[in-house]
Structure 1
Amino acid sequence: GYLIAIALGMTQVVALYVAVALTFSSTIIIVKLLSDKREVDTLHGRIAIGFLIVQDIVVVLVMIGLTALGEAGDAAGLGWEAIEVVLKGSLFIATIGLLMRYVLTPLLHQLARSPELLVLFAIAWAVALGAAGVHLGFSKEVGAFLAGVSLASTPYREVIGARLVSLRDFLLLFFFIDLGAGLELATLGAQVVPAVLLSLFVLMGNPLIVMVILGAMGYRKRTGFLAGLTVAQISEFSLILGALGLSLGHIDAETMGLITLVGLITISASTYMILYSHPLYERISPWLSVFERKRAYREEALNRNTQESNYDVILFGLGRFGAGIEKELLQRGHHVLGVDFDPDLVRRHERHGYAVCYGDAEDPEFLATLPLGQVCCVLSSVPDMRVNLVLLHSLREHGYNGTIAVTAHTSRDTERLQDAGANQVLIPYSAAAAEAVDKLFGEGKQCQMQSPQ
């Protein structure tokens, strides 16, 4: 990014700001998209969120450094300013750490009796630390980020996160409004070509870099591709960084408009790339083998159970419904190989002695590693229509002739899955309701009133 900016005629300082802005990706947008696709707990989702958090930590440190640079009058004052920033930052973090240890968790235990109070406190806590960040000479974003980190360390992180989803999505609307308002329409024409070039670099270059790194680390090309797509846009922190550079006089309004335009292009384009990541991968996967080692040892470690040869059932999905099916099949003497895309769930089942492996039902290349030739039944407990349709298609492509059972929520989905080749379609709630009625009224049982004693 720096070299492209230099080639476009920017000065070294401006090119450095642009390059750094292109480096960071939007955590809030990626988390929302992965949540909507239910891929937060997948391997590529966890990898993506991991390096997005690292990026956020780095950009916060960069912003603190720039703040110190802006407050220093000269080179001599920069050293003292840096020491002061380090001291204030250390004191700020230490204070938050003490509050997390001795105040925050016990207080949340009391507030958790009312979900509304829990949400109100989370918002007030973020506002308070944001204000403290501004007062200490940092920024409100730094304070709010530390507030999120502190809340994430409590036992109520999932509850707070779930309750704040609607507020997050609502405030995201204003982020895009501010993004559009930051464009200078008068200078837009001169910025289109640089913005397109830089956007292409972000949309294609960033995913390629991630794929190279993950491939070298021993991950499969599919994991690298899906994780790489999540960095194909710039971050909201990139705009904050640009605004900070503008206030310090390091960049001008035209450069800020350029960064904003790149943000609009990359966020818009990458959203559809992520939403249609699986079909996109199927189309270009033959050309991605260069990004995968001959032996993807990182994921093979999670799939060692696929090498055994005594299975008669393969079960996709080890959630509550799938785990119940697995337990019942094992009690009846079947040899079951469980498959799930959540690495933590895979390890948990392994600790309990089950034969499980990591994998995705939507990955046709993964299906080729399974012992399909020996099992009599492939069962999916995942009630997702798209996932099950892809699984049915892939199994037929691999020539599987055994029984295929999938899961659906409605009778309409059942008909569509049967038309696609499913031999059996399970409807969990209907089956549970029928079993409950049988237990209450089956086998000649009569409904009788109990006489008072």
Structure 2
Amino acid sequence: MIEATWIAFAFGLGLVARVIGLPPLIGYLGAGFALAAFDNQLGITRQDSEILAHLSHLGVLLLLFTVGLKLKLGNLARPEVVGGSVLHFALSSVLMLPPILLFLEVGWYEALMLSVVLAFSSTVLAAKVLESRRELKAFHGRVAIGVLIMQDLIALLVMSLTSGQVPSAWALLVFLLPLLRPLLFRLLDHSGHEELLVLLGLMLALVVGGLGFESVGLSSELGALAFGAMLAKHPRAGELSNSLWSVKEVFLVGFFLQIGIGGLPDADALIFAALMSLLLPLKTVLFFFLFLAFRLRSRSAFLSAASLTNYSEFGLIVMSVAMPQWLVPLAITVAFSFILSAQFNRVSASLYNRLASRLVRLERNTRHPDEQPVSLGDAQILVMGMGRSGRAAYHYLKEKGYRLISLDSDPVAVERAAGEGCNVLYADAEDQTFWQSLEMRQVEAVILTMNDAEAKVIASRKLRERGFTGLLVSHALYEDVARQIEAAGADHTYLTMSEAGAGLAQNVAMQLEARHARPQV
């Protein structure tokens, strides 16, 4: 019965939040507080709360597993990720300490622990925001996720030090996990496309990754992320992520309910949360200038910093071990930061566009290797998206003698295409600055083969807005998507499956004609 109440509250307040222009997760947080306020009337027991906590934990594990599926481990070993996360953690902890000591009557140890946990940013919220905007693979999205993973590793270290517990000797076995990749790839190959695929994802995220890492004294969140990352290079990683989407979304509602249902705050908790919320801009500014120091463009630095402008639910886990008496004030602080961060990220791109002329002046003269190109040279044809379709189109046209250049927002795809001899550069089709600075005077045709439908719509619109009058073609899986791309400016959109069927039939006809043309013996 109580599960029905959870669903009703979550849906009702989530719908209200959406209607008034807020992300539904704000409504889920409100639903949690409403449930906490009426727990006696609703008959919510301790066992019910434990069930909700378990469901929310499953949602976090599935989210991190799907983030891992889109993560390339090579993206972590970058100066802006390692340096940005470590330097921000150190500087933020130091800068947060004086205000906490000044406004709160706490000792040095409590103040230090509060400043440490407030230095972390929310992996769940940032990943959710980036995923909803299809920016997980964008450069600034990969930087933000990389920083969050580094922060989670730091949080695990802090939790181990404060708890006095260390992982068991068996934890060393995690360094052998890459040896399991061929087996995992084979399992994914043989799991089909239906419920067995979903069960494989659940098993790896919750059982092997989550429970397995917990059994050796490591974080279950880290385990889910690790097993997702090991499958990231598999061609069907995207399909696995999509198959888990609805399950993950439902469980994540439980996570946001759990934050609110933890207990109603008193006046002191609300004052603490309000004061800490006033310090949130410090996170943004610190991240922004650190990213600029590592040669990011102002746009990438600003959007990455915006994604990280919040406090972390992982801090609650750390504090539950170190100082459980601070859980409710910190939960309210995290909730406030989620509300502010969600609103900030809604307008971050448009806000940057208004501030761009001032922020660009702060950039360093050197350019980060992963940032977008500004000139396509003498290329006649531009291929955007270097997956299987893009590479096939590129090689076919190259054999015909055309001058080509290709772009992709996935560094792994760029590396693979470059290895095949393609003239390929990194670029994000959803980057406003990229379109403003792009020079493509000799390009006569553009082929859109990106996987994401929204990216193709944006690219079509931006190309036409900047005055491109050449041939613009795309492919799509569905007719309604094809109509959207054409409405945005494409000359023609080919339906992938229909064209594949037509090509298959054409080959059959050619084979039959060849057979009939042979002399009969």
Change (3 A) 1:154 1:358: closer
Query: Which deviates the most, 204-213 or 159-168?
Result: 159-168
> Is 1:176 paired with 2:256?
yes
Please give the secondary structure, in 2, of the residue aligned with 1:371: coil
Task: Work out the CA distance in 1 between the residues paired with 2:368 and 2:183.
Answer: 45
Task: Work out the CA distance in 2 between the residues paired with 1:329 and 1:101.
Answer: 38
User: For the aligned residues, what is the CA RMSD?
Assistant: 3.7
In structure 2, what residue type is equivalent to 1:227? S
Please give the secondary structure, in 2, of the residue aligned with 1:387: helix
Q: Is the 8 A contact 2:380 2:445 kept in 1?
A: yes
Task: Work out the CA distance in 2 between the residues paired with 1:281 and 1:25.
Answer: 21
Q: 1:297-336, aligned counterparts within 5 Å?
A: 297-299=368-370, 303=373, 309-336=377-404
* Higher Cα radius of gyration: 1
Task: Work out the CA distance in 2 between the residues paired with 1:414 and 1:131.
Answer: 49
**Structure 1 residues without counterparts, runs of 5 or longer:** 69-84, 134-141, 449-453
Please give the secondary structure, in 1, of the residue aligned with 2:279: helix
In structure 2, what residue type is equivalent to 1:174? G
Q: Is the 8 A contact 2:408 2:428 kept in 1?
A: yes
Q: 1:423-438, aligned counterparts within 5 Å?
A: 423-438=491-506
Task: Work out the CA distance in 1 between the residues paired with 2:462 and 2:219.
Answer: 48
Q: Partner of 1:5 in structure 2?
A: 100
Compute the TM-score of the two structures, normalised by the length of structure 2: 0.67
Change (3 A) 1:338 1:18: same
Query: Which deviates the most, 143-152 or 325-334?
Result: 143-152
Please give the secondary structure, in 1, of the residue aligned with 2:141: helix
Task: Work out the CA distance in 2 between the residues paired with 1:298 and 1:284.
Answer: 24
Q: Is the 8 A contact 2:168 2:216 kept in 1?
A: no
Q: Partner of 2:155 in structure 1?
A: 59
Change (3 A) 1:117 1:434: closer
Q: Shift of the alpha carbon at 1:419?
A: 3.9
In structure 2, what residue type is equivalent to 1:2? L
Q: 1:194-205, aligned counterparts within 5 Å?
A: 194-202=272-280, 204-205=281-282
Q: Partner of 1:451 in structure 2?
A: none
Q: 1:390-429, aligned counterparts within 5 Å?
A: 390-429=458-497
Q: How many residues align?
A: 407
Task: Work out the CA distance in 1 between the residues paired with 2:229 and 2:493.
Answer: 41
Q: Is the 8 A contact 2:178 2:230 kept in 1?
A: no
- From 214, 221, 226, the equivalent of 2:291 is 214
Change (3 A) 1:406 1:105: closer
Q: Shift of the alpha carbon at 1:264?
A: 1.2
Q: Partner of 1:228 in structure 2?
A: 305
Please give the secondary structure, in 1, of the residue aligned with 2:323: helix
Query: CA deviation digits over 1:264-319, x for unaligned, max 9?
Result: 1222443455466544544443343244223324336x74xx65632111221111
Q: Is the 8 A contact 2:472 2:490 kept in 1?
A: yes
Q: Is the 8 A contact 1:315 1:380 kept in 2?
A: yes
> Is 1:370 paired with 2:446?
no
Task: Work out the CA distance in 1 between the residues paired with 2:449 and 2:226.
Answer: 36
Task: Work out the CA distance in 2 between the residues paired with 1:244 and 1:35.
Answer: 30
Q: Partner of 1:78 in structure 2?
A: none
Q: Is the 8 A contact 1:341 1:360 kept in 2?
A: yes
> Is 1:93 paired with 2:171?
yes
- From 188, 206, 209, the equivalent of 1:123 is 206
Query: CA deviation digits over 1:141-174, x for unaligned, max 9?
Result: x442464476468569968974766554444333
Change (3 A) 1:66 1:353: same
Q: Shift of the alpha carbon at 1:357?
A: 0.7
Q: Is the 8 A contact 2:129 2:307 kept in 1?
A: no
Change (3 A) 1:379 1:287: farther
Task: Work out the CA distance in 2 between the residues paired with 1:95 and 1:13.
Answer: 34
Please give the secondary structure, in 2, of the residue aligned with 1:288: helix
Task: Work out the CA distance in 2 between the residues paired with 1:96 and 1:344.
Answer: 24
Please give the secondary structure, in 2, of the residue aligned with 1:333: coil
Q: Shift of the alpha carbon at 1:423?
A: 2.6
Q: Partner of 1:136 in structure 2?
A: none
Task: Work out the CA distance in 2 between the residues paired with 1:94 and 1:54.
Answer: 19
Change (3 A) 1:174 1:297: closer
Change (3 A) 1:233 1:130: same
Q: Partner of 2:411 in structure 1?
A: 343
In structure 2, what residue type is equivalent to 1:175? F
Q: Is the 8 A contact 1:338 1:355 kept in 2?
A: yes
Q: Is the 8 A contact 2:159 2:322 kept in 1?
A: no
Query: Which deviates the most, 3-12 or 332-341?
Result: 3-12
Task: Work out the CA distance in 2 between the residues paired with 1:234 and 1:271.
Answer: 12
Task: Work out the CA distance in 2 between the residues paired with 1:260 and 1:200.
Answer: 16
Q: Shift of the alpha carbon at 1:433?
A: 2.6
Compute the TM-score of the two structures, normalised by the length of structure 1: 0.76
- From 85, 97, 118, the equivalent of 1:22 is 118
Query: CA deviation digits over 1:345-401, x for unaligned, max 9?
Result: 112212222111111112232234433111112232236453334323433443333
- From 427, 433, 450, the equivalent of 1:359 is 427
> Is 1:380 paired with 2:464?
no
Q: Shift of the alpha carbon at 1:417?
A: 3.7
> Is 1:258 paired with 2:329?
yes
In structure 1, what residue type is equivalent to 2:317? I
Q: Is the 8 A contact 1:383 1:407 kept in 2?
A: no
Q: Is the 8 A contact 1:183 1:261 kept in 2?
A: no
Task: Work out the CA distance in 1 between the residues paired with 2:451 and 2:178.
Answer: 41
